[in-house]
Amino acid sequence: MCGFVGIFEFTESFEAARSRALEMAKTVRHRGPDWSGIYASERAMLAHERLSIVDVEHGAQPLLDVAAGRALAVNGEIYNHVALRDALKRPHAWKTKSDCEIILYLYDEYGPALCKMLSGIFSFALFDERTGEFFVARDHIGIVPLYIGWSGDGVTYVASEMKALDRVCETIQEFPPGHYYSGKGREFVRWYDPDWAHAFPTKKASLHDLRTSLETAVIQQMMCDVPYGVLISGGLDSSLIAALAARHRFKRIESGETEEAWWPRLHSFSVGLENSPDMKYARKVAAHIGTVHHEVVFTVQDGLDALPDVIRHLETFDVTTIRAGTPMYLMARKIKAMGIKMVLSGEGADEVFGGYLYFHMAPSAEEFHEETVRKLFALSRYDCCRANKATAAWGVEARVPFLDKEFLDYAMSINPAEKMCPGAKIEKGILREAFTDLLPQEILWRQKEQFSDGVGYSWIECLRNHAEGKVSDQMFAEADKRFPKQTPTSKEGYFYRTIFDSIFKNPTACLTVPVGPSIACSTPTAFLWSQQFASMDDPSGRAVKGVHIEAMDDT
């Protein structure tokens, strides 16, 4: 994962704009500690901080198409870059073997339509020297972060993280996932608009196709020229991804699995408090699939001490994201210390298959599907934000095969009636049934445990107690006066918001963070399946009484 900033149509001097771009780039250097580069012209600046994953020796950015007069800065991975070369109609002067260079030449031949051709995770900014136009785009779900802002004199800024724009722009907003923005059009254009987002899917589930589609996603996301690993929480989702990766670890994906892998030993990582539920099960998964397993044990005090840094990196005050993001942030530091630069993770399965425990309450297949769609398109502010920024804080890239564009389009085309889990039926049933031979039965049929719960139940309790000690009843009663915008709905949220505001000074920064009650409402729009549940302000999975079965603490 990399970081970049872009400044377009600036009015200050060339020297001042270049200096500003370099200073802004320093704020995202943690995302790309391997190399720095800058493209500077009289009308645009692109500064790039690189984390080298593919073509380590030659893939430095910004990339240049000298013939067409264009410069490009990318954060992300284009998994189908080799296959896309066949889509080019003309010869081009290739400079690297990087997966990102293909964007320059696709844009040259296809323009904005190139976005639909890409299979990957990305945000990028492209500048055309000849026309003075710029083009900015973000991947389908917002797996990779991107922000856009404007100064009072109309200069447009983009950056991989909000902190680069905080003290520069008058207004800041999240760049919407699945959209592009051009200097010519001056508006966001949706390029990712799948049928399943608007129509009720009717395709009958095929366990074979489901399995094949997910395995294909995992294989293509193993594209990597550096040591990589897998995250194992001990739950279904991450365990499936780890197990599929383990099956293909002995051969190099880039060669079509015809050459020996550069790093055939697969390392896995789990995190938790001492004797946490997740670590016990993660240990069993690692032994079953044969990884070199590493356990990152943290204390509550470690987590509390890290909170200001976590909020600075995650750029949020959302309670769920910080609860889960803190252990992930601590684990990522250990992963980096092991020399691992990329990890595969299990985010997205709960949104695709209705895996959160409140989906047991879904009154109909139609409403079940609507909720999965709503949650998928909110992921950029929640799980994608957490997974990307918590790992990028230490120069590690997280990849999420469950959100692979092709897998997503297949899985979301399945009739949602086949995903439902009424009554005592376990959630994500069809996903479990598709992989009955891949994992131990106790893992395959383990009930959903939210990451912030599974790392150790006392973690959440200590966070609540810590916030109680910092935020008085009177302070919380007057929360709307201190925070009239995005007002916190709990003392814990209030505490995180005070840290957030001490770091981010732009008055529009808080608007990039949604606020709403309960796990049922991880996005701003509440659903009405259960009035009692919708009013809960605790986003822990254990709040779903009658569904959640608390894990045992024994090992």
Residues making up the annotated binding site for L-glutamine are 99
Task: Report how far residue 463's alpha carbon sits from residue 455's, in angstroms, rounded to the nearest whole number.
Answer: 13
Binding residue numbers for ATP: 231, 271, 345-346
Burial (CB count within 10 angstroms: exposed 0-12, middle 13-18, buried 19+), residue 511: middle
- C-beta atoms surrounding 37 within 10 Å: 17
Residue linked to tokens 């949604």? 514
For 370, residues 6+ apart whose C-beta sits below 8 A from its C-beta are none
Distance CA 90, CA 94 (A): 12
Strands of 57-133, DSSP E: 63-65, 70-78, 120-128
CB atoms within 10 A of CB 275: 12
d(CA 456, CA 540): 12
Contact 353, 411 (CB under 8 A): yes
CA 240 from chain centre, in angstroms, equals 18
User: Residue 2 catalytic?
Assistant: yes
Burial class (CB in 10 A: 0-12, 13-18, 19+), 125: buried
- Binding site: which residues? 99, 231, 271, 345-346
- What φ, ψ does residue 235 adopt, rounded to 5°? -90, 180
SS (H, E, C) 448-506: CCCHHHHCCHHHHHHHHHHHHHHCCHHHHHCHHHHCCCCCCCCHHHHHHHHHHHHHCCC
Are the CB atoms for 228 and 291 separated by under 8 Å? no
Q: Is 9 left (phi over 0), alpha (psi -120 to 50) or beta?
A: left
The C-alpha torsion from 247 through 250 and 253 to 254, rounded to 10°, is 180
Structure tokens at 197: 């987002």
Q: Quick one: which of 163, 188, 166, 185 has its CA closest to 175?
A: 188
Considering just the CA atoms, what is the radius of gyration of the chain in Å?
A: 23
Determine which one of 2, 100, 384, 521 is catalytic: 2
354: alpha, beta or left, given left = phi > 0 and alpha = psi -120 to 50?
left
CA–CA separation, 515 and 497 (whole Å): 11
Residue in 126, 129, 137 with CA at minimum distance from that of residue 63: 126
Whether residue 397 contacts residue 342, with contact meaning beta carbons closer than 8 Å, is answered with yes
Which residues belong to the active site?
A: 2
